[in-house]
Amino acid sequence: MKSVDALLADLVDYAGLFPPASEDMQPALENYVTYLQSADRAAMGRFIVPILRLTELEDAGTDLMPRGPRSVPWRLSVLVAEDVRAATEEMQKFNRRHSSKSRGGHAVIDVAELKASTVDEIGHEGRDLPPSLTAYFEIPITGDVSPLVKTIAKVGARAKVRTGGVTPEAFPPAEAIIDFMAACLREAAPFKATAGLHHAIRGEYRMTYEPESTTGMMYGFLNVFTAAALRATPSLMRSIEVA
């Protein structure tokens, strides 16, 4: 495998339902299918959907989901807002309806994304999720994030950081993102970054697809990847700093 293939594998989860695209369900799913069939399909990860829109996804995806026992299922990441136990039951029912042995389209929910701002929230919600689901906790990155990240690692979950939005004010300081990465590395907690990473290289870009959209400095996903790699390799970082 080439190094670029390893870098790009499953790199991008598809969030077409959310800003700045804000697509309706049907076109979002159609786009996802197109991307899964494209030359760059190796980079395509999961389709992200809120728990409250799972039924809508099933209805819109009836004729689009792969079928048959040998088909490769859609992989879904579900945003869970409140009642984790109820959401878990709903996700498990969905997986049973769309397993390879069912007559319906083939899809699997294997990731749940939650928000938490306290150690207790992470502990309680982490215990309510089954081991079959990989959990990501989006946490605030103001102040010391170490206790939150430590608890995320303790419950066997992963961290999530919001790196932007549709306004310049939604982008956190670079120092806060670096501190978040450093905490994840100390605790051996895998993490993902979301929002504001629509371009490879950091630069001034339009915040949305609207003609009159404001512009602002956006973080590039290659910049985030490189920063994480440098943090993970202190000797390399020191050599670059010296140079």
Predicted confidence at residue 8, as pLDDT, reads 76
Predicted confidence at residue 223, as pLDDT, reads 92
| Residues of the chain above pLDDT 70, percent | 93
**CATH number, domain containing residue 215:** 3.20.20
Predicted confidence at residue 211, as pLDDT, reads 86
pLDDT digits over 123-135, tens only? Answer: 999 999 999 999 9
Interval 157-175 mean pLDDT: 95
Domain of residue 117: give its range.
3-242
Residue 236 clears pLDDT 50, i.e. is over it: no
Predicted confidence at residue 82, as pLDDT, reads 83
pLDDT digits over 6-62, tens only? Answer: 777 888 999 999 999 999 999 999 999 999 999 989 999 999 999 999 999 999 999
Predicted confidence at residue 1, as pLDDT, reads 58
Q: 191-194 and 74-79: which strand pairing?
A: unpaired
Residue 49 has phi, psi (to 5 degrees) of -145, 140
Residue 87 clears pLDDT 70, i.e. is over it: yes
- CA 126 to CA 152: how far, in whole Å? 8
Predicted confidence at residue 243, as pLDDT, reads 33
Predicted confidence at residue 34, as pLDDT, reads 97
- CA 54 to CA 67: how far, in whole Å? 18
Q: 134-138 and 12-14: which strand pairing?
A: unpaired
Query: Total structural domains in the chain?
Result: 1
Predicted confidence at residue 238, as pLDDT, reads 42
Across 12-26, 147-161, 222-236, least confident range = 222-236
| DSSP H/E element including 13 | strand 12-14
Burial of 175 from C-beta contacts in 10 A (0-12 / 13-18 / 19+): exposed
Predicted confidence at residue 25, as pLDDT, reads 98
Predicted confidence at residue 137, as pLDDT, reads 98
The 10 Å Cβ neighbour count of residue 142 is 10
Looking at every residue in the chain, the average pLDDT score rounds to: 90
What residue type is 183 in one-letter code?
A: A
Residue 237 clears pLDDT 60, i.e. is over it: no
Predicted confidence at residue 55, as pLDDT, reads 96
| CB neighbour list of residue 57: distance below 8 Å, 6 or more residues apart | 25, 29, 49, 76
Pick from 123, 162, 157: which is nearest to 139 by CA?
162
Predicted confidence at residue 234, as pLDDT, reads 60
Burial 150-159 (b: 16+ CB within 10 A, else e): ebbbeeebbb
